[in-house]
Amino acid sequence: MRRKPPKSTSAHNADAVGPPNPSLIHPEIREAADKLRRGKLREQMVERRYAAADPNVLPFLKAVAEGDEQRALATLRGLLACNPRLLEHPYVFCQFRHLFTVWHPLHDDLTDRAKVELVNLVRAWARGMTLGWKVTITKPPTGRRGQAPQHFPHLDDRDGWLPTEEADKERRDAEEFVRAYKDLKARLSKGVPWKMLRHRYGPSRPGPLYNAADKIHFIFEDFKRAHNIDAPPLERKALTEIARAGLTEPKRRNPADRAARGLVATLPWYNVKGVALTLTSSGIKSTLETLRKKEIGKPTSSG
């Protein structure tokens, strides 16, 4: 849940930063393949122990030089199935490592494609190491741990051991949400004399209600400016209802907490896909309680 819709990350975004030419093939291997194509690879060594033009690796490099990534990776799978010790060659190992880490901000499918190719290479290597045993690698179903917060439904989604991309984004948004809420609550606690106004307020004495509404208005506008939130001022009726909810909150509960939830519910919030959310005070309360249990937004201890 975020304050503004996420910016587009299309290929036309000139401000995006990332690898200039996203590829499933490691740059060092593409460079070696280019040298092979130009006949300049023969006498070179890699890490002092391995020939750059090792005959066992050449079919892979030749396929890379021809520019067909899929055929190059298929060639490498065949080589590994026949000679699993080929993984020791620096070019082969760095190709495994590249598929494990490759990422590009403008090509969301690159990481998924790399995972598929990495699994295929591991299968081929394992088949070679076991002398032809059938090897199966299956992706576990996306799992969740515990109750998901109402406004962050993907927060606990897992892809294997790791959070999904949506879970990572929602965690950052959840931390921002908690920080903003705590700041607003602190401002309301400090800026509104709740105890005095609650003591004086009654059906025949509306003055404290309007006093609280005025203070809440100025506090909320300052809060929005501090957090760069673009939202119009609340109407008098809405402010009065939020103030009334705070003043009539049971004595053992925090009126600033109730008012903060009511104010936050009026702000424009969006999910990770940019879809506007409809917030309620009760929904915010439930979300905050779940986030607290997950220790999201909890100050980190220093020292």
Give the pLDDT of residue 39. Answer: 85
> How confident is the model over 278-283, as a mean pLDDT?
89
Residue 147 in any domain: the answer is no
Q: What is the pLDDT of residue 8?
A: 44
pLDDT at 10 over 60: no
Cβ neighbours around 237 below 10 Å, total? 9
Same domain, 110 and 189: no
Within this chain, do residues 166 and 287 fall inside the same structural domain, yes or no?
A: yes
Are 34 and 118 part of one and the same domain? yes
Q: Do 169 and 260 have their domain in common?
A: yes
Split at pLDDT 50, 70, 90, the class of 64 is very high
Pairing of strands 50-51, 45-46: antiparallel
Residue 71 lies in a domain: yes
Does residue 189 surpass a pLDDT of 60? yes
Q: Is the pLDDT of residue 146 over 60?
A: no
Q: Mark whether 91 and 190 lie in a shared domain.
A: no
Confidence of residue 122 (pLDDT cuts 50, 70, 90): very high
Q: How deeply is 276 buried, as exposed, middle or buried, from its count of CB atoms within 10 A (0-12, 13-18, 19+)?
A: exposed
The pLDDT of residue 142: 61
Q: Are residues 81 and 163 in the same domain?
A: no
Model confidence at 165, pLDDT cuts 50, 70, 90, reads confident
Q: Is residue 203 part of a domain?
A: yes
Q: Is the pLDDT of residue 143 over 70?
A: no
Distance CA 163, CA 294 (A): 14
Cβ-count burial 86-99 (b if 16+ within 10 Å, e if not)? bbebbbbeebbebb
Predicted local distance difference test score (pLDDT) of residue 277: 82
> Which of 247, 240, 286 is CA-nearest to residue 263?
240
* Residue 299 maps to a domain: no
Decide: 281 and 262 in contact? Cβ < 8 Å: yes
Boundary (domain end) residue, out of 129, 146, 179: 129
Last residue of a domain, one of 129, 150, 178: 129
Tell me: do 173 and 124 sit in the same domain.
no
Residues 192 and 111 in one domain: no
Q: Is the dihedral of CA 285, 288, 294, 300 positive or negative?
A: negative
Mean pLDDT of the chain: 86
Q: pLDDT band at 46, cuts 50/70/90?
A: confident
Find, among 161, 144, 160, the residue nearest to 152 by Cα.
144
Q: Is there a single domain that holds both residue 125 and residue 162?
A: no
What's phi and psi for 162, nearest 5 deg? -105, 155
Q: What own/partner pairs with CB < 8 Å and gap ≥ 24 does 193-202 have?
A: 194/246, 194/247, 194/255, 194/256, 197/247, 198/247, 198/251, 198/255, 201/247
Tokens of 183: 């700041």
Q: In the 8-state DSSP scheme, what is residue 143? A: B
3-class DSSP assignment, residue 224: helix
Which domain covers residue 93, as residue numbers? Answer: 27-129
Res 300: pLDDT = 62
Residue among 51, 47, 56 nearest 81 (CA): 56
Q: Identify which of 296, 264, 294 has the alpha carbon closest to the alpha carbon of residue 280.
A: 264
pLDDT of residue 202 exceeding 80, the answer is yes
Same domain, 165 and 245: yes
Domain boundary among 87, 111, 129: 129
pTM as predicted:
0.63
Mean pLDDT confidence for 63-87: 96
Share of the chain above pLDDT 70, in %: 88
Residues 169 and 288 in one domain: yes
Q: Is 245 part of any domain? A: yes
| Same domain (yes/no): 178, 83 | no
Q: Number of folded domains in the chain?
A: 2
- Say if 8 falls within a structural domain: no
What's the longest Cα–Cα distance across the chain? 97
In a domain, 135, yes or no: no
Provide the 3-class DSSP secondary structure of residue 255.
helix
Within-domain flag for 10: no
